[in-house]
Amino acid sequence: MKDTKKTGVPERQVGIVDPLGANSEIGRKLKQYYDELVSDEVPDRFAQLLAQLDQVEPGRKKD
C-alpha cells in the first residue's frame, strides 16, 4: 500500500473516516490472528489427551 504524501494515510483510506481510529487496526490484527488460530489443526497429542479426558470423565456434559 502506498502512503499519500499529504496525509500519510494509505491511499485506499483517503477520504474515509474511520470511527474507531487506531482501534480498527488492532481489531483487524486480532481478527487475522483468530482466523489463523482456528484454521490450525489440533495436534495429534492434544487430541489424544482430550480423548483420554473424555474416558476419565464420561458423565461430564460436552459443550
- DSSP-derived letter for residue 41 is P
CA distances to 9, 34, 49 from 39, in Å? 31, 9, 20
What pLDDT, on a 0 to 100 scale, did the predictor assign at position 31?
Answer: 92
pLDDT for 49 equals 93
Distance (Å, whole) CA 29 – CA 43: 24
The predicted structure's pLDDT at residue 5:
53
Q: What distance in Å separates the CA atoms of residue 1 and residue 9, rounded to the nearest whole number?
A: 10
pLDDT recorded at residue 48: 94
Answer yes or no: are the C-beta atoms of 18 and 7 closer than 8 Å. Answer: no
Q: How far apart are CA 52 and CA 34, in angstroms?
A: 27
Q: What pLDDT does 2 receive?
A: 52
pLDDT at 63: 55
Which residues does the chain have with pLDDT short of 50? 1, 3
